[in-house]
Amino acid sequence: MPINEKGGAFNPLIVAFCCNWRSYAGADLAGSSRLNYPVNVKVIRVPCSCRVNPLFILRAFQRGADGVIMCGCHPGDCHYTSGNYFARRRTALLFSMLDFLGIEKGRTRVEWVSAAEGAKFANTMNQFAETISALGECKRLEDIRCVESEI
Amino acid sequence: MRRIRDMMRSRAGELLREGTVNRVLGWKNGEFYYDPNPAVFETEESLDGLVYNGFSAAMLSKYLIDATKKEGRILVFLKPCDTYSFNHLLREHKVNRENTYVIGVGCDGMLDIEKLRTLGVKGIKSLDENGDDLVAHTLYGDKTLARRDILLEKCLSCKGSEHKVYDELAVVDDPWQWDTLDRFAKVGELEGMTPDERFAFWRGELSRCIRCNACRNACPVCSCLKCVFDNPRSGVQAKSNADSFEENMFHIIRAFHVAGRCTDCGECSRVCPQNIPLHLLNRKFIKDINAFYGEYQAGADVEGKSPLTEYKTGDVEPSVVYERGGA
Amino acid sequence: MMLKLSKDKIGELFQKLASSRTLYLPIDNNGQVNFGQWTPDAVVRLDQLKTVKSAKDFFFPQTENIVAFKRQGKDISIIENRDQNEPFVVFGVRGCDARSLDILDKVFLCDPVDSFYKARRENGVIVSMACAEPEETCFCGVFGIDAAEPQGDVTIRIIGDNLYWDGKTEKGKALGESVKDLLVQATGQDLEIIKKQDERSREILSMLPLGDLSLDGFEESALLEKFNSPLWKELSQACVGCGTCTYVCPTCQCYDIQDFDTGHGIQRFRCWDSCMYSDFTLMAHGNSRKSQMERFRQRFMHKLIYYPANNDGVYSCVGCGRCVAKCPISMNIAKVIRALGVSVSV
């Protein structure tokens, strides 16, 4: 999984956890509307933003992600009524903790994206990729075994 | 504390005799004055070994998860801060209140044997607690230390002498008192640093971790039947710090799993063989919870919900982390 | 031959030793002292009696790579990528840790020989250091260790303003040769000083509170009686099941072998294991020791009965007292020996 193509420009690897009911559909709409967003955004579909275990976010960084973004239904719109409210509290605390440990805070983000917001999805990803490109490779939360070794 | 110990022995004896309880959970004397270990006493005679002194820091609340599943009622001695953990376990239905008889014991602050060693005390044969002082009789002569200088880190910011739950109390009218510090001072200091400085600070601390899991196992609210780090199929290596990522991951997840549940008892830092200030991670979560969702003290009440099991529609957005000031 | 060096030249000694090989010695990291690699700005703490972790790390590291696998198409290639072994010196090893290597040798150097361990043993030189001020948690004398004159390739003593260097083995003498410019011959007066210091140290060692621990009754013939003792339940009930005692122990030698999926291959590594953990010796059917009491018993039965039964009566404990000092709930091998030792009925 080469993130930094040898000799080439830095292409940040971004993992986007998207809720099945709205944000994933939003990503779909962005695609079918032929809106551009970086190819290195890897979308992982989850049943609800509430399904995103903090461990998932850390594991994404372990495996070489340079930024992790979580997208869910707008507050009040959750398919399961309240999942995203819980997710909101968890991510706020987790991101604050990562900041506390000295991990650059721009590397994590939460956006609420509805099924109708294909343009918002594409814009968000473009902006986020820009932020991450400016930050460079994630060195502080990487697992050297996954990133550097040939094995 | 000797007076309290005598009260404990006599009340435990009475309660055993009259059959109110069939076991007593307390601290048993060891080889040295400073090493009492938690123990269950089943007979009145065995209570001679029951001790309570400045080194009875090991919290007994967690043992009740197993102990209260057994036949009969168990007497347990809880210091004020231990009662928070007990309350929290009650809230989560981990302990059976009916099988427990709680005697709240007064506390003069617990002492840190590591601090004694750092101050150059070695070869301890015995110790005497005398009001403001502690006298160490060692192979290399006697040494007197101010109690204030050897208090456990957690006791420096004591939550107070009030017991949150008890059936009866064993306290004295004139406990030893000390000035407490702001528990968030160090967290605030770290928040004021640049990310690079914070990163360097935590690398320095966490790189010492030996993955003994003492912080997790001693934590009264780390009470999962099977921990994610004990599951060989979870893909998270439980036994070794192969690299810095694993150190970070373990400690973030450990602290996160008790966020909103942590009573700030400080056991994690007390038991760490490498003296890593793990309580700072927990206090960071507590500080954030207080700021984002309102003041909350886990274990202060049995009823109600903890911050991560409820929500408000108007909660702050996670973007608060990058919008608020600081580097 | 006793050599000496003025204490203010100790920095030069480290520099010289480190120039030809890696030098490990007790180093302070935020108040905690552990063996670490020497650098000119490291805070060396030879005065620290016990490092948190023992010196076994350099021969049997907590984590080490064994082999890796990579799949390409339908082929699987096996890649040897064990960690490089280079000559090194561990400096300032106390008598207990120096002896612990004998105990590890019996495990790792018997057939089949553990080539990882063997390579490190061959590459490593032990510079041991005499103890002048033991702590109350020490009980190495119970296992016949003389902390005033520890074993090792070289033994050093720091007395007053001098460091005394006593090369004992071929390896140790060769090491002395490499720093001979710094060392001078000790005089008859020095030998008197050393003798006096050794006597004083031995006197203190004889007064240690745990020095009277008796191992009578811990023998193979008592295996079943000890195993079935009702005392295990009582002793183990406080145990929280962490691995502190095993990870700070210089003689604990159990390890686990795990595969790590790096995303583009498999890295097989071994890491220390602890008999206190629920997944220790986990097999398809589950764990053979289901309760903490059984796990707790295993640790002490291994050290005091099983190991000596297989190794000519040598106990798998050196009395360093780290577990005594570090156990979160103050349960330890000394309490176990006291409780079980006297109850022997023959």
pTM exceeds 0.80 for this model? yes
DSSP single-letter state for residue A83:
H
| B327 pLDDT more than 60 | no
Pairing label, strands C154-159, C162-167: antiparallel
Residue C284 to residue A76: CA distance in whole angstroms: 46
DSSP single-letter state for residue C303:
I
Residue B273 to residue B254: CA distance in whole angstroms: 17
- Is residue B48 within 8 Å of residue B1, measured between CB atoms? no
> To probe the interface with B, which of C139, C330, C337 has the most B CB atoms within 10 Å?
C330
Domain membership flag for residue A92 = yes
What separation in angstroms does the CA of B93 have from each of B97, B154, B221, B223? 9, 26, 12, 11
| B46 pLDDT more than 50 | yes
Domain co-membership, B7 together with B60: yes
What percentage of residues in chain B have a pLDDT greater than 90? 83
Contact A146 C263 (CB under 8 A): yes
C35-54 exposure pattern, b = at least 16 Cβ within 10 A, e = fewer: bbebeeebebbbebbbbbbb
From first to last of its 151 residues, chain A has per-residue pLDDT tens of 344 544 567 889 999 999 999 999 999 999 999 999 999 999 999 999 999 999 999 999 999 999 999 999 999 999 999 999 999 999 999 999 999 999 998 999 999 999 999 999 999 999 999 999 999 999 899 888 887 666 6
Count of other CB atoms within 10 angstroms of residue C12: 14
Name the CA dihedral angle for C9, C13, C19, C21, rounded to a multiple of 10 degrees.
-160
The pLDDT tens digits of the residues spanning B257-270 come to: 999 999 999 999 99
Domain co-membership, B161 together with B19: yes
Residue C183 to residue C166: CA distance in whole angstroms: 11
**Residue C27 backbone dihedrals phi, psi, to 5 degrees:** -125, 140
SS3 for B60?
coil
Q: Length of chain A in residues, anyone? A: 151
- Judging contacts by C-beta atoms under 8 Å, the chain C residues touching residue A1 are 263-264
pLDDT of residue B275: 95
Amino acid making up residue A93? L
Domain of residue B125, CATH code: 3.10.450
Give the pair of three-digit tokens for residue C64: 């080490």
pLDDT of residue C344: 44
Give the pair of three-digit tokens for residue B9: 């022995």
Find the domain containing B7 and state its range: 2-112+155-170
B271 in reach of chain C (CB within 8 A): yes
What separation in angstroms does the CA of C106 have from each of C101, C308, C311? 9, 11, 8
Helix (H) or strand (E) holding C26: strand C22-29
- Judging contacts by C-beta atoms under 8 Å, the chain A residues touching residue C79 are 151
| Strands, sheet with C184-185, edge to edge from the N-terminal-most edge strand | C32-37, C22-29, C88-94, C124-129, C154-159, C162-167, C2-6, C184-185
Give the pair of three-digit tokens for residue C201: 């140290």
Report chain A residues touching chain B, CB-CB < 8 A: 54-55, 58-59, 61-62, 75-76, 82, 85-86, 88-106, 108-110, 140-145
Q: Give chain B's mean pLDDT.
A: 93
Domain membership flag for residue A62 = yes
Q: Measured between alpha carbons, how far apart are the two ends of chain C, in Å?
A: 49
Give the pair of three-digit tokens for residue A68: 């992790």
Nearest by CB: A102 against B199, B253, B285: B199
Contact C262 A64 (CB under 8 A): no
Domain co-membership, B65 together with B212: no
Residue B16 to residue B11: CA distance in whole angstroms: 8
pLDDT of residue B226: 87
Residue B14 to residue A95: CA distance in whole angstroms: 53
Nearest by CB: A1 against C68, C81, C264: C264
Chain A: closest CA distance from residue C78 (Å)? 10
Beta strands in A14-107 (DSSP E): 14-19, 41-46, 67-72
Residue C338 to residue C341: CA distance in whole angstroms: 5
The nearest alpha carbon in chain C to A64 belongs to: C263
Domain membership flag for residue A46 = yes
Give the pair of three-digit tokens for residue B111: 């002492």
- Is residue B52 within 8 Å of residue B60, measured between CB atoms? no
Contact B202 A82 (CB under 8 A): no
Domain co-membership, B161 together with B29: yes
Closest CA to B9 of B26, B31, B22: B26
- Judging contacts by C-beta atoms under 8 Å, the chain A residues touching residue B307 are 89
Contact B58 C329 (CB under 8 A): yes
Give the pair of three-digit tokens for residue B60: 């007994």
Domain of residue A82, CATH code: 3.40.50
Residue B156: band (very low, low, confident or very high) from pLDDT cuts 50, 70, 90: very high
Chain C: closest CA distance from residue A109 (Å)? 24
C94-124 exposure pattern, b = at least 16 Cβ within 10 A, e = fewer: bbbbbbbbebbebbbeeeeebebbeebbebb
| Strands, sheet with C266-272, edge to edge from the N-terminal-most edge strand | C75-79, C63-72, C266-272, C255-261
- Is residue B104 within 8 Å of residue B170, measured between CB atoms? yes
Chain B: closest CA distance from residue A57 (Å)? 10
Contact B191 A101 (CB under 8 A): no
pLDDT of residue B231: 82
Q: How many domains does one find in chain A?
A: 1
Domain membership flag for residue A106 = yes
Find the domain containing A77 and state its range: 14-147
Domain co-membership, B203 together with B159: no
The nearest alpha carbon in chain A to C68 belongs to: A151
- Judging contacts by C-beta atoms under 8 Å, the chain B residues touching residue C238 are 37-39, 58, 63
Chunked mean pLDDT (size 10), chain C, 346 residues: 92 95 94 94 94 95 92 90 87 97 96 94 96 94 95 96 95 95 94 95 93 91 93 95 96 93 89 92 88 96 96 95 96 94 54
Domain membership flag for residue A72 = yes
Domain co-membership, B228 together with B266: yes
Residue A66 to residue A103: CA distance in whole angstroms: 11
Q: How many domains does one find in chain B?
A: 3
Residue B145 to residue B141: CA distance in whole angstroms: 13
pLDDT of residue C30: 86
* Contact residues, B window 16-45, toward C, CB-based 8 Å cutoff: 30-32, 35-40
Domain co-membership, B118 together with B206: no
Domain membership flag for residue B251 = yes
Domain membership flag for residue B177 = no
| Strands, sheet with A67-72, edge to edge from the N-terminal-most edge strand | A41-46, A14-19, A67-72, A108-112
Domain membership flag for residue B180 = no
Domain co-membership, B72 together with B121: no
B218 in reach of chain C (CB within 8 A): yes
- Is residue C78 within 8 Å of residue C69, measured between CB atoms? yes
Domain co-membership, B102 together with B190: no
Closest CA to B268 of B216, B232, B204: B216
pLDDT of residue C148: 95
Hunting for tokens 């919290």 — which residue is that? B59
Give the pair of three-digit tokens for residue B208: 């010492």
Peptide bond into C112 cis (omega under 30): yes
pLDDT of residue B213: 94
* ∠ Cα C303 C308 C310 (to 5°): 115
What separation in angstroms does the CA of C14 have from each of B88, B286, C43, C181, C222? 53, 46, 12, 13, 49
Domain co-membership, B208 together with B286: yes
Contact B315 A88 (CB under 8 A): yes
SS3 for C235?
helix
The nearest alpha carbon in chain A to B324 belongs to: A96
